[in-house]
Amino acid sequence: TGAAVTLTSCGLDPSPAQSGELLRSKAKLPEPFTVPLPIPPVKKPTAPDRYRVVQRKASLEILPGLKTEVLGYDGLFPGPTFDVRSGRTTVVEQVNELDVPTVLHLHGGHTPAASDGWPLDLLMPAGGHHDHSGHHTMQGGDVKTGSRIYTFPNTQRAATLWYHDHRMDYTAPQVYRGLFGLHLIRDEEEDRLPLPHGDREIPLVIADRAFAEDGSFIYPAAKGRPGVESAYMEGVVADVTLVNGAPWPVHEVDAVRYRLRILNAANARRYELGFDRGPAKFVQIGSDGGLLGAPVEHETLVIAPAERFDVIVDFSAYKPGDEVTVVNRLDENAPVLRFKVTRRASDDSSIPAKLSTYSAIEAPKGIVKRQWRFRRGNAGGHHGWTINGKAFDPVNMQAQVKLDQYEIWSFVTDVHHPVHVHLAPFQVLSRRGHGPGPYDAGWKDTVDVRPAEVVEVLVKFTAHKGKYLIHCHNLEHEDMAMMAAFETI
Ligand code: C2O
Ligand code: CU
């Protein structure tokens, strides 16, 4: 029976901010709101729709006066932003100049399996200093050395996607050290809307990190090792909040509307973003999979790892000189970033009552149903986390799913797990037997499943046959085998 649910000591919703042990920085940290908000550069093509990215180490000044070694796409933290058009295939050559194998995944991408970042489709370093610590390397993967071509058809509608490392067993440390970035898809439906644009459209990539005295990242040394286990098992949470790679940054705005594309790129931390003073609120216009049908207003935004919220914030009620701080309500209103209103300005943007042709789909009768149970457990020699009682197995598929057919998938949890499905977006049908929650609107590819909960979603895979993944996007849980492979047929 499904009754054996283990709750954490405080397993009722709303849960405490984090259950894992907080990693504390030893480095000298700046005062919040002293570092300007960086905007990741837009990646330039080498020829129309062709790109080349070098994965390399770089020494960056993340904390003022200190250097942090990162693993970065083009040596950046976060990586460059891809800004592409729906329906235009992009071809990306990735070159690995690191000393660890990597795997690139486009999160939210409708991508053929060969380019989707199967966790064993390794790109080995050009230099040949291979890390042999992985258990299953070479088994069931297409391994390349030096460089690899990824093809992204970008067939989906306009949306805020992101890309990140997906190496089996090592996704969490490699993303933590910098292997992540944004991938924006635009289309005509979105172009027609009078939304804020140009420098009034701002990406906010939020992630937490801890820093040693010399500025290097602190990350638990190894999974399951005594002494570090508690900092690892529940997922790594750290004391410095970075936005676009800067600690608690500040950004100057005009007293007008802004479009903020918010990505929670943290390994394991959930945020409830709110403002320290009214009347600002979040008017949500889009979700993981693009525009909603109609805007949804939120006082606060709960955002789990890998989720995206596309929101409009109106600063017109503030006067020049006012400061508006975004705080995390799940962490005693800890600072995230600050906006400084500098001047009044004209604003030709608006938020239309109808944003897109999105509509909720009704589940057909006699539809296939599948259950995915996310639980702590030991399986297959793994000490960690399981799906349907199994640790990730790259050889045996847990399901075969027919293309072009809706299915209802239900996700059942013990503790919090942000559940992510590759290849196809889904619509949330229900939570705990009731309707979708306030943050479930639109096409999603990641859903914040809370402790001891059942979330049902409607999903349909199209176009690409092959091996795909469903997993927890708490990246330490994922690395501790909370991932399952399925095959689209
Ligand atoms: Cu964002 Cu399978 O990942
Ligand atoms: Cu999890």
Two structure tokens written together for 114: 């060969």
pLDDT value of residue 11: 27
Of 264, 280, 274, give the one whose Cα is nearest residue 326.
274
pLDDT value for 126: 86
Does domain 34-191 sit in CATH 2.60.40.420? yes
Q: Are 84 and 90 in contact (CB under 8 A)?
A: yes
**Distances, alpha carbon 37 to alpha carbons 4, 43, 190, 387, 390, in Å:** 46, 18, 26, 39, 42
**For domain 368-488, is the CATH number 1.10.10.10?**
no
pLDDT category at 221 given cuts 50, 70, 90 is low
Q: Cβ contacts of residue 365 below 8 Å, gap of 6+?
A: none
pLDDT of 207 strictly over 50? yes
Give CA 489 to chain center in angstroms. 27
Give residue-wise pLDDT tens across range 316-342: 999 999 999 999 999 999 999 999 999
Tell me which ligand sits closest to the C-alpha of residue 415.
2
Looking at residue 223, its pLDDT comes to 52
pLDDT given at position 363: 92
Per-domain residue ranges for the chain?
34-191, 198-343, 368-488
Mean pLDDT of 389-417: 96
What is the rounded average pLDDT of the residues 437-459?
98
Please report the ipTM that was assigned to this predicted complex: 0.98
Locate the ligand 1 atom nearest the alpha carbon of residue 306 and give its number: 1
Q: Please write the tens of the pLDDT for every residue from 235-286.
A: 999 999 999 999 999 999 999 999 999 999 999 999 999 999 989 999 999 9
Q: Which fold has domain 198-343?
A: Immunoglobulin-like (2.60.40)
Tell the residue nearest (CA) to atom 1 of ligand 1: 107
pLDDT at 115 over 60: yes
Contact in structure between 174 and 233 (CB atoms under 8 Å): no
Give whole-number Cα distances, 61 to 65, 172, 228, 251, in Å: 7, 22, 27, 18
Q: Above 60 in pLDDT, residue 446?
A: yes
Tens digit of each residue's pLDDT (9 = 90 or more) over 84-93: 999 999 999 9
Distance between first and last Cα of the chain: 30
Residue whose CA is closest, atom 3 of ligand 1?
107
The predicted structure's pLDDT at residue 232: 82
- Supply the pLDDT for residue 220: 84
pLDDT, residue 272, reads: 98
The reported pTM is 0.93
Cα(419) to centroid of ligand 1, in Å?
A: 9
CB 258 within 8 A of CB 310: no
Query: How far is residue 37's CA from residue 241's CA, in Å, rounded to a whole number?
Result: 12
Which residues, 6+ apart, have CB-to-CB distance to 84 below 8 Å? Answer: 49, 90, 152, 154, 183, 184, 185, 186
398: pLDDT strictly greater than 70: yes
Read off the pLDDT of residues 173-195 as tens digits, 9 standing for 90 and up.
Answer: 999 999 999 999 999 999 999 99
Question: Mean pLDDT throughout 43-54?
Answer: 98
- How much distance in Å is there from the Cα of 477 to the middle of ligand 2? 5
For residue 61, is pLDDT > 60? yes
pLDDT value at position 428? Answer: 98
User: Using 50, 70 and 90 to split pLDDT, how confident is the model at 20?
Assistant: low
Q: How many Å lie between the centroid of ligand 1 and the Cα of residue 304? A: 13
> Which residues form the pocket of ligand 1, taking CB atoms under 6 Å from any ligand atom?
105, 107, 164, 166, 306, 420, 422, 469, 471, 473
Which ligand ends up closest to the CA of 172? 1
DSSP for residue 477: H
- pLDDT averaged over the chain? 92
Per-residue pLDDT tens digits for 126-138: 876 554 444 444 5
CA of 385, nearest ligand number: 2
Report d(CA 469, CA 421) in Å as an integer. 6
- How many whole angstroms from 239 Cα to the centroid of ligand 2? 20
pLDDT, tens digit (0-9, with 9 covering 90-100), for 308-317: 999 999 999 9
More confident position, 232 or 37: 37
The answer to whether 250 and 341 are in contact (CB under 8 A) is no
For residue 108, the CA-to-ligand 1 centroid distance in Å is: 8
Q: CATH topology of 34-191 equal to that of 368-488?
A: yes
| % the chain with pLDDT above 70 | 91
**Beta-ladder partners of 69:** 59
Residue 305 has a pLDDT of: 98
pLDDT, one tens digit per residue, over 224-234 is 544 445 678 88
Task: Look up residue 419 and give its amino acid.
Answer: V
